[in-house]
Amino acid sequence: MNNQRISGWSLRNWLLLSFGLSIVLIFVFTQALIIFGMPFTSFKGLLDSQTEKAFFDISELADSSKRQIEKWIFERQGDVKAIAENPLLMLAVENILHQSPTTSAAEAEATLKQLRAYLSLWKDSHYKEYSKIEIIEADSGKILLSTRPEEEGKDASQFSYFRKLLNLVVKEVVEKQMDTEGEISNLIFARGIRSSAKGRIPVIHAVLAIHDSMDNIRSILHEGIGQTGEIVLLDQDMRLQAPLRYPLINGSVPEPLVFILSTKPAILAAQGIETIIEAQDYRGVEVIAATRHIRINTELAWGMVVKIDAGEIFQPINQALVAHALAISGALLVGGFLIILIATRLTRPLSALSQAAVAIAEGDLSVRTTPAGSRELQDLSRSFNIMAARLEHWNKDLSAAVENRTVELAAASTSLRESEERYRRIVETSSEGICMVDAEYQTTFVNPRMAKMLGYQPQEMLGLPIASFLADDEQILHHEQVALRKKGQGARYERKFKCRDGSLLWTLVSATPIQDEKGMFAGSLAMVADISEQKRLAEILRENQVRLDLALRSAGMGMFSTNIATGKRIFNNQACLLFGIDPKSFSGSAEEFFKTVHPDDREMIKAALARTIALDVPYETEYRVLWSDGTVRNLSSRGRLVRNGSGQTGRVNGIVWDITDLKKAATEKAELQEQLFQAQKMESVGRLAGGIAHDFNNMLMAIIGNTELAIEKSDPSTSIYEHLQEIFTSAQRSADLTRQLLAFARKQTISTKILDLNELVSGMIKMLQRIIGEDIDLVWKSSTKLWPVKMDPSQIDQILVNLAVNARDAIAGVGTLTVETENVIFDETYCLTHAGLIPGEYVLLAVSDTGSGMKKETKEHLFEPFFTTKEVGKGTGLGLAMIYGIVKQNNGFINVYSEPGQGTIFKIYLPRTQIAGAVVTKDAQQQPDRGTETVLLVEDELPILKLSKTILERYGYTVLVACSPREAQALAKQHQGPIHLLITDVVMPQMNGRNLVESITVSRPGIKILYMSGYTADIIAHHGVLEKGIHFLQKPFSIYSLTAKVREVLSDS
């Protein structure tokens, strides 16, 4: 033994290290847990909690500011709408701009003064924040009225909001502008002041503009945002809408409505993205910013950035971290002092024993210790002295024996040492574990790698049964392997070991039996490799596969894999369900796969696969499959090319899912959009037809009436008479064209009656035969007990005549025209599969021909006005459009069935009425009786007024004429005698016909009423149907129509 001191730490040092390190780690871990929380759990530390709270607070501030700004804008939009749509203001503005010649300058100035006071009152009583309120004349663009009188008369036509409103682009405009008096940015809310008269197309007479300073919104922008907080408003182009709180990084102050702010939060806000981020602001300072999108109207929107410096937000967090750091430092100092004190007291008695043991180890066997300290330490000291005495005695005896034996072993030792060194190097440096057991399977040797894998020291495993290191569920398999070893058989197998810490270790064992010199089983040698990582990866792969299968199954998706070389396909169970095949019987061959695909889609799939292989692009295709029960399903496949180890194309792997419902939904959506577009188009043309009908019929009225009077006074033998007849005929055709337009637009004024279609159609058969000619057979099939319908009889005439004319033109040579009636009931089930139908009871009127039929493209435009396939001059294109309007006006449906060369069938469904009735037959035209009554005639068109007066006076009536409702009211009051009949136009300036009747019947309650108009605009009719008890004469009318209707009204009791 050498005399060097054994190196190493003292017990005192170990105690200091152990206790100190344990306390430090526990305290530091506890503080870290408090500050940072526990990862992968819901427990959050102080840092995360404070950060989340800061982000939540600024997000709440952003939402609150957004709501306040939106409320601010909504209040001002409501103000401008309330003022602009005030009926009194609309009428007053209209009277000012279109003054009557009788209006004096004083009256006009008084009206202006009242309006100015009204605007000022509104400005002062609503928020008291508006800069000014103006009314701008539409024709001149000059300011008519302003709460700043000095600005009245100025030109405002250059402002874009004024132009937009006059062009009818929008109903309301919100626009930014710099105030003309200074540098303050204004927000202008503008709206058109329209005509107050009912029954006319609205006309903008003036524009109302409310100016509000952006300074009024600053209280919102700087409320509750901390010491460094700020709210920035921008438009879609990132231009500032209000001044910034701080100067830019270069010290300059940006100008609102001019400067473009291009920081990251500003870009997100201008794009309408609402989020919260950490970024630099325009000063280069790190901030926490929340972005919000504020929609003002369809043309204008603001982006809003609410930001606070990160330093202000994180200041409480940093202070908390410093406090915890100081607490940790103080605790460590106190704990260290206590640990040193305790360790010194415990280890002092052991120091003497330690020094004596070191002396004996260095060869001084004469050293002894003095017992001291606790009883245990004193016993230990005495035992040490006894041991030292015995060692000293034995050492003397052994010295002589050792000296002799040393010489003998010297030679063998050298050879053995070399062999052991080689063996030790191989075993200890092996990357695999090595284990040897005896015949009883007790461990006799393990190398360091084997021990390390299981968490033991090699010496700890020696002598223990190898089975004690195996997992519980491996015991039976272990005994099976033991039996094989004893039979002299080696094996390679997987085995699960139990580590010292209780964890399990997967290994690959290669075991070989060991035999003694007699050939008997003496034990086993095993090489053990750690395969835990491979097992873990395999388990992760398996779990991922299970999750993927579950996700795809939940989404209704299947997986496929296509071998490019053989064309063979592998489907999972979900994919087999999508293709309608049995997973057990599906071989996966290309031939069997394509049997499930619709024949028209097979080449498309092959082409898509070839494209993926050739260009290395994703495999994407949609196709149909045929199930064994005949069901057709739409599928979509997506996949990618997978190469083998050598880089060559090997397979296409992907997913497949059912898109049948998506396809069906897309088709239904397209059909609904087409129906909506058709309805909107028909409504637009209808509004156009109604708009022109009134003026057009007034002009035709003057032409037809005066032509009739001229014809009566002309000699039939002269050429002038013929010319007048041509004028009369052309005017009548123009009137028919107008009626067709109104019928299509469902704005034709009608008088409904209870009808039996069988009786009405029977009365028209001869006329229809004359229309279609002798070469076409007319077949009339009437249904028995036909339900009654309620509509105008003349509309049935229009429908049948137009369909007969179309059938005649479609039949080349001989053919057949069939007219049928039938009772029909549509239930809810039928209507679900036939778009546009409503459940109920209907009377069917079907008209079919054996003509040339129509293509699908023609049917799609069939009911559009002015659409015709006839030659120029042979059709107006309004016949079928008129039929469509009549059917819709009477809440019915019309369907067309036609194929080229197969003829056409029109099926018209009219709602059944529950009240039975008979057809009102038409009487032959007779010369009306003359009269002596007094008639008050009101018409704003002077030619029609004169013409109607002439006709009535010729038939003996006393006629009082008025060219306006006001004049008619005056005549009704001033005339001393009775007035038997009031004939009034429906649509007139100042007052419509109905309002005029209501005012006159107050003073003359017994007077009879006759309305006349080219277009009623629902004033006396609802959806074109006359209200009960109303007498109406459609313009243009003939002499006979007027005199006969007047006689009918006067004779009506």
Q: Are residues 247 and 163 in the same domain?
A: no
State the pLDDT at residue 857: 78
State the pLDDT at residue 743: 58
pLDDT reading at 59 higher than 50? yes
Helix (H) or strand (E) holding 292: strand 286-295
Q: Given 658, 680, 712, which residue is the final one in a domain?
A: 658
State the pLDDT at residue 700: 78
pLDDT band of 364, cuts 50, 70, 90:
confident
* Residue, of 53 and 659, whose pLDDT is higher: 659
Q: Given 658, 681, 705, which residue is the final one in a domain?
A: 658
pLDDT reading at 703 higher than 60? yes
Token readout for 839 is: 């459940």
Q: Are residues 763 and 912 in the same domain?
A: yes
Q: Are residues 524 and 643 in the same domain?
A: no
pLDDT tens sequence across 719-744: 888 888 888 877 776 776 666 666 55
Could you give the 3-state DSSP secondary structure of residue 317? helix
| Count of CA atoms in the C-beta half-sphere (13 A) of 919 | 17
Which domain does 995 fall in, by range? 934-1051
Q: Are residues 230 and 247 in the same domain?
A: yes
pLDDT band of 685, cuts 50, 70, 90:
low
Helices (H), 555-653: 573-579, 590-595, 602-615
State the pLDDT at residue 179: 61
pLDDT reading at 474 higher than 50? yes
pLDDT band of 754, cuts 50, 70, 90:
confident
Task: Name the domain count of the chain.
Answer: 7
CATH of the domain at 800: 3.30.565.10
CA atoms of 215 and 184, how far apart (whole Å): 7
pLDDT reading at 26 higher than 60? yes
Torsional sign, CA 163, 169, 170, 175: negative
Q: Is residue 459 part of a domain?
A: yes
* 8 Å CB contact between 293 and 273: yes
pLDDT reading at 58 higher than 50? yes
pLDDT tens sequence across 846-892: 999 988 888 887 777 777 766 666 655 555 666 787 788 888 878 89
Average pLDDT value for residue range 129-151: 88
Q: Is residue 31 part of a domain?
A: no
Average pLDDT value for residue range 980-997: 89
* Residue, of 529 and 876, whose pLDDT is higher: 529
Q: Which residue has the tokens 């692009």?
A: 617
Token readout for 31 is: 């503080």
pLDDT band of 425, cuts 50, 70, 90:
confident
Q: Are residues 904 and 772 in the same domain?
A: yes
Q: Is residue 1046 part of a domain?
A: yes
Beta strands in 55-167 (DSSP E): 130-137, 143-146
Q: Are residues 119 and 268 in the same domain?
A: no
Q: Is residue 599 part of a domain?
A: yes
State the pLDDT at residue 5: 42
Q: Are residues 108 and 127 in the same domain?
A: yes
* 8 Å CB contact between 565 and 548: no
Beta strands in 829-946 (DSSP E): 840-849, 893-898, 904-911, 934-938
* Residue, of 995 and 827, whose pLDDT is higher: 995
CA atoms of 595 and 607, how far apart (whole Å): 17
Token readout for 366 is: 């004469």
Q: What is the torsion angle, in degrees rounded to the nearest 10, for the CA atoms of residue 1014, residue 1018, residue 1019 and residue 1022?
A: 120
pLDDT reading at 977 higher than 80? yes
Q: Give the burial class of 593: count Cβ atoms within 10 A of its Cβ; 0-12 exposed, 13-18 middle, 19 or more buried.
A: buried
* 8 Å CB contact between 898 and 1013: no
Q: Given 360, 393, 421, which residue is the final one in a domain?
A: 421
pLDDT tens sequence across 895-924: 888 888 888 999 999 999 876 555 444 444
pTM: 0.37
Token readout for 601 is: 């889609």
Q: Are residues 771 and 901 in the same domain?
A: yes
CA atoms of 362 and 345, how far apart (whole Å): 27
Token readout for 67 is: 């709501």
pLDDT band of 83, cuts 50, 70, 90:
confident
CATH of the domain at 247: 3.30.450
Q: What is the torsion angle, in degrees rounded to the nearest 10, for the CA atoms of residue 791, residue 795, residue 797 and residue 803?
A: -120
Nearest to 454 by CA among 400, 399, 405, 497: 497
Q: Are residues 913 and 785 in the same domain?
A: yes
943 preceded by a cis bond (ω within 30 of 0): no
Q: Are residues 769 and 914 in the same domain?
A: yes
CB atoms within 10 A of CB 760: 21
pLDDT tens sequence across 176-228: 777 655 455 778 889 988 876 655 566 888 998 998 877 777 767 666 677 88
pLDDT band of 611, cuts 50, 70, 90:
very high
Looking at every residue in the chain, the average pLDDT score rounds to: 81
State the pLDDT at residue 779: 92
Beta strands in 976-1029 (DSSP E): 981-985, 1008-1013, 1021-1022, 1025-1026
pLDDT reading at 3 higher than 50? no
CATH of the domain at 507: 3.30.450.20
State the pLDDT at residue 462: 92
Q: Is residue 910 part of a domain?
A: yes
Token readout for 483 is: 């039996």
Q: Are residues 197 and 255 in the same domain?
A: no
State the pLDDT at residue 492: 92
Q: Is residue 50 part of a domain?
A: no
Position 673: which residue type? Answer: Q
* Residue, of 969 and 873, whose pLDDT is higher: 969
Lowest mean pLDDT among 295-304, 830-839, 903-912, 966-975: 830-839
CB atoms within 10 A of CB 278: 13
pLDDT reading at 564 higher than 70? yes
Lowest mean pLDDT among 499-503, 908-912, 942-946, 1025-1029: 1025-1029
Beta strands in 769-891 (DSSP E): 776-781, 789-791, 815-826, 840-849
CA atoms of 720 and 711, how far apart (whole Å): 9
* Residue, of 861 and 542, whose pLDDT is higher: 542
| Axis-axis angle for helices 942-954, 1039-1051 (nearest 10) | 70
pLDDT reading at 507 higher than 60? yes
Q: Is residue 578 part of a domain?
A: yes
**Cα–Cα separations (whole angstroms), residue 374 to 339, 350, 371, 575:** 20, 11, 9, 82
Q: Are residues 769 and 894 in the same domain?
A: yes
- The string of DSSP codes covering 386-404 is HHHHHHHHHHHHHHHHHHH
* 8 Å CB contact between 202 and 191: no
pLDDT reading at 11 higher than 70? no
CA atoms of 466 and 327, how far apart (whole Å): 51
Lowest mean pLDDT among 256-260, 312-316, 332-336: 332-336
Token readout for 268 is: 């997100």
State the pLDDT at residue 1035: 79
Could you give the 3-state DSSP secondary structure of residue 300? coil
Q: Is residue 464 part of a domain?
A: yes
CA atoms of 884 and 865, how far apart (whole Å): 10
